[in-house]
């Protein structure tokens, strides 16, 4: 049986961590996220350990002989046309039917319970467990999402959404308007 492993730090994408969603219409609801790795992250020991854990699970699950063409949870981000994806990057997707624990970057790892504090574009790392599957002709290795650590909150959003603070930074107020009103 495979062991849980920490990923290197990457960029969150398609984070559905507080409310489960079905991957396909009519399917089971689940918590999920993708994590993008740039070239520097791909050179880390954590990334190498993730690759090794996936390979070990494939070997164990498929009885020592890994079939050709199985699905690998590490994918080429250049194949997607989403914000943040592109050449030289890879990504993983991890999911669970149980809500993952989500903590912040500080040493006490305070739990994050407000959904608006977690969004696509933040730097994060995951705690995952590789698992093998062989369902309806689909064979491969998936990643079970256990926990998420947001390592940097102040990042630009991948979806382009601005914070209310940024949108209303012009300082407009009704009091100010009333002071200059001709009425």
Grade residue 109 by pLDDT with cuts at 50, 70 and 90: confident
Q: Which residues pair with 30 in a beta bridge?
A: 21
Q: What is the pTM of this model?
A: 0.85
Average pLDDT (23-43) is 94
List CB contacts of 143: < 8 A, sequence separation 6 or more.
Answer: 73, 92, 93, 94, 95, 126, 128, 129, 130, 131
Sign of the CA dihedral running 110, 124, 18, 158: positive
Distance, CA of 138 to chain centre: 23
With beta carbons less than 8 A apart as the criterion, state whether 10 and 124 touch.
Answer: yes
Q: Is the pLDDT of residue 94 over 90?
A: yes
Domains of the chain: 5-179 (2.40.50.140)
Cα gap 78→169, rounded to integer Å:
36
With beta carbons less than 8 A apart as the criterion, state whether 83 and 159 touch.
Answer: yes
Q: What is the pLDDT of residues 114-145, one digit of tens each?
A: 998 999 999 999 999 999 999 888 899 999 99
Q: What rounded mean pLDDT belongs to the chain?
A: 89
Cα gap 71→83, rounded to integer Å:
23
SS3 129: strand
């Amino acid at each position: 049986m495979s062991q849980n492993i920490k990923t290197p730090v990457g960029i969150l994408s398609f984070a559905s961590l507080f409310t489960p969603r079905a991957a396909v219409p009519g399917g089971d609801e689940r918590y999920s996220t993708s994590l993008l790795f740039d070239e520097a992250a791909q050179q880390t020991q954590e990334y190498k350990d993730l690759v090794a854990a996936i390979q070990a699970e494939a070997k164990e699950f498929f009885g020592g002989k890994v079939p050709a063409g199985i699905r690998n949870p590490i994918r080429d981000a250049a194949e997607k046309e989403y914000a943040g994806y592109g050449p030289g990057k890879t990504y993983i997707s991890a999911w669970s039917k149980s809500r993952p624990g989500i903590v912040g970057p500080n040493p006490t790892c305070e739990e994050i319970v407000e959904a608006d504090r977690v969004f696509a574009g933040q730097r994060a790392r995951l705690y995952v467990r590789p698992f093998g599957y062989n369902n309806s002709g689909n064979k491969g290795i998936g990643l079970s999402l256990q926990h998420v650590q947001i390592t940097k909150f102040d990042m630009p959003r991948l979806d382009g959404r601005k914070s209310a603070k940024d949108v209303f930074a012009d300082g407009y107020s009704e009091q100010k308007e009333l002071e200059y009103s001709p009425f």
